[in-house]
Amino acid sequence: MKKFILSLFAFMVVALAMAQQVGYTVHTIERGETLESIATKYHVSVNAIKKANPDALDIIYVGMKINIPKSSNEEPQQVDNNTKIDSREYRSADISNASNETPKFETELFAGATFSTYTGGDVKNADMQIGFNGGVTGRYYIVNNFFAETSLMFTTKGYKSKKKSGPKMTTYNIDVPINIGYRFMLSDDMSLKIKAGPYITYAIDGEQKAESVKTKLKDIKSFNTFNVGIDAGIALDFHHFILSGTYQHGLATLINKQKVYEQNILVSLGYRF
């Protein structure tokens, strides 16, 4: 379990370093500028600018902020003076939004595996068990690449004893994480997201197995079905596919008057709309 967490952390550090190396520049559009003239100024292609600002270039206006990727070997396109931003185009833009980048909302469907266990001072011989997770995420870009997101997801959690004859606990949960994050543009088609925040979870069903005896979750009076915790994650976005890893740790005890907390690692593959 510790090796898995350390490996995930190492991957996050390396990926973050890559993201910082690639980076981008934020450019504020001035009167008379076109995408072609901006591309020429920064020695990039118009295509690269459009890919770095998905869904944000349907209407361009003076004062709008756009992301400019670092210079590549692509030849800048020739300036087309017919697409200059003149005063008529400026007046046709929504003046109330002239100082802000167009907001973007996206939806993601995902599914994957959950690696869960219990931890704490009163936990002994607990090992990790594998379950699954799946759900939907709504993501809103607040400004530039800062975003807020929330998910509605179904997960199986629990633990199993390291001893063959020991107990095994499985719960079926509804999770709602609420995260704040940032997106790093790695290339025209690839980005890296990091995020963190609180989550709430509710165990709607489950059971504990001990040898040949099964006990339903509703009959375990000391088990707290409602819990809260914190999570942190990283996601690699390529075209519309997203590979993500998330670490969860419960803040409230699962068993009354005992130091028992949930600890989960979720790995999933999603598709972004």
**Average pLDDT across the chain, whole number:** 83
What's the average model confidence in pLDDT over 162-189? 93
pLDDT at 63: 80
Query: What b/e string do you get for 160-172 counting C-beta neighbours within 10 Å, with b at 16 or more?
Result: bbeeeebbebbbb
pLDDT band at 35 (very low <50, low <70, confident <90, very high): confident
Instruction: Give the Å distances, CA to CA, from 210 to 157, 161, 171, 202, 241.
Output: 17, 10, 15, 23, 41
Mean pLDDT across 169-181: 98
Region 110-133: what's the mean pLDDT?
Answer: 96
pLDDT digits (tens, 9 = 90+) for 235-268: 999 989 999 999 999 999 999 999 999 999 999 9
pLDDT value at position 19?
A: 43
Has residue 81 got a pLDDT over 60? Answer: no
Q: Which residue has the higher pLDDT, 69 or 190?
A: 190
Statement: residue 113 has pLDDT above 50: yes
Q: What angle do CA 187, 243, 200 make, to 5 degrees?
A: 125
Q: Distance (Å, rounded) from C-alpha 228 to C-alpha 182? A: 23
* Nearest alpha-carbon partner for 172 in 116, 233, 252, 110: 116
Query: Tens digit of pLDDT for each residue in 209-228?
Result: 988 899 999 999 999 999 99
Using the predicted structure, report yes or no on whether residue 54 has a pLDDT greater than 60. Answer: yes
Our separate counts of H helices and E strands in the chain read 4, 12
Q: Above 50 in pLDDT, residue 87?
A: no
